[in-house]
């Protein structure tokens, strides 16, 4: 069993981004990423901080907009509009979830598709569907990068994704399909879930339930990718997979923390760099 080291792979990705950023800066372009944080969700604060650190590391300028929880929809949309029009800002992301009363979809749709480095805009989602895209959603793309780094081929494999969110589950299944995997998407209404997951050569867990995937759901020698960021009964960070009991059945497994998480931010850096190049015709 090999533990997939997301920290190591993400460091390699960021190193490459930093190298290309140096070249861009020589041409007079410094990639800029704007992050909007509404309210004071503690988890979101941590993510925003990590994004800021990553920007510094690769040489981007980061712009942070912290808005109070009582911000109105109009105020939020007018900020997005202002950022869309600023040339020095190449990527815009709004940290989700938003406080109650704000319409996430309207905010995502307001971000210019060229600056949508999260790849959540309908236009970018549609382009992923047909396989002609500029940006990929950060978590699924980060997972594909990890599989590549460990020479894990997707072609012809039975791939099972548990979870059907627009952020992870659906795009994840598309990317596996683009690499010629045979994909099944499972969710809370799936009958005989265990039978389905036991077929998987590559199992991706993205349900948001601590230790949901147990050893009896995993085929011997499977590759298990854990997207969850949960807390167990003792408040300790854990994933959607019962790591201790599952790991001995796997050929490869990602840990939590230190697996998928770091890859998400590394991919965000990659997307922002690409956005800067595209917007400056480089």
Q: Which of 14, 116, 118, 219 is catalytic?
A: 118
Catalytic residue flag (residue 8): no
Catalytic residue flag (residue 151): no
**Whole-model pTM above 0.75?**
yes
Task: Supply the CATH classification number for the domain 138-261.
Answer: 3.40.50.720
pLDDT at 232: 87
Q: Which of 4, 2, 33, 12 is nearest to 273 (CA)?
A: 33
Tell me the angle at which helices 169-178 and 138-149 cross, rounded to the nearest 10 degrees. Answer: 40
Q: Which residues of the chain have pLDDT under 50?
A: none
Give the tens place of pLDDT for each residue, 230-270: 988 898 999 999 999 999 999 999 999 999 999 999 999 99
Equal fold, 28-112 vs 138-261: yes
pLDDT at 188: 87
pLDDT at 43: 83
The angle subtended at Cα 191 by Cα 189 and Cα 197, nearest 5°, is 100
Q: How far apart are CA 129 and CA 178, in angstroms?
A: 9
Query: Residues with Cβ < 8 Å from 67, sequence gap 6 or more?
Result: 36, 37, 38, 39, 75, 76, 79
CA atoms within 13 A on the CB side of 251: 14
Catalytic residue flag (residue 51): yes
Q: Locate tokens 């290309």: which residue?
A: 20
- Label the pairing between strands 237-238 and 230-231: antiparallel
pLDDT at 44: 87
Domain boundaries, the chain: 28-112, 138-261
Task: Supply the CATH classification number for the domain 28-112.
Answer: 3.40.50.10860
pLDDT at 225: 98
């Amino acid at each position: 069993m090999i533990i997939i080291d997301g920290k190591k792979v993400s460091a390699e990705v960021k190193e490459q981004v930093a190298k290309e950023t140096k070249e861009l800066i020589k041409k007079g372009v410094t990639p800029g990423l704007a992050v909007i944080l509404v309210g004071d969700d503690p988890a979101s604060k941590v993510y925003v901080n990590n994004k800021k650190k990553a920007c510094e590391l690769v040489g981007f300028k980061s712009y942070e907009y912290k808005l109070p929880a009582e911000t109105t929809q109009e105020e939020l949309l007018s900020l997005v509009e202002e950022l869309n029009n600023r040339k020095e800002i190449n990527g815009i992301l709004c940290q989700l979830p938003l406080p109650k009363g704000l319409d996430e979809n309207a905010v995502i749709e307001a971000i210019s598709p060229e600056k949508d480095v999260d790849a959540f805009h309908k236009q970018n989602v549609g382009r992923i569907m047909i396989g002609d895209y500029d940006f990929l959603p950060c978590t699924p793309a980060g997972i594909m990068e990890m599989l590549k780094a460990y020479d894990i081929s997707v072609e012809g494999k039975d791939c099972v994704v548990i979870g059907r969110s627009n952020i992870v589950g659906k795009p994840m299944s598309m990317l596996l399909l683009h690499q010629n995997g045979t994909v099944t998407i499972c969710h809370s209404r799936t009958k005989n879930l265990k039978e389905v997951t036991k077929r998987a050569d590559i199992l991706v867990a993205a349900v948001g339930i601590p230790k949901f995937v147990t050893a009896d759901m995993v085929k011997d020698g499977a590759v298990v990718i854990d997207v969850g960021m949960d807390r167990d009964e003792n408040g300790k960070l854990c994933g959607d997979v019962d790591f201790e009991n599952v790991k001995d059945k796997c050929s490869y497994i990602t840990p939590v923390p230190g697996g998928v998480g770091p890859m998400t931010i590394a991919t965000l850096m990659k997307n922002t760099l690409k956005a800067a190049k595209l917007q400056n015709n480089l």
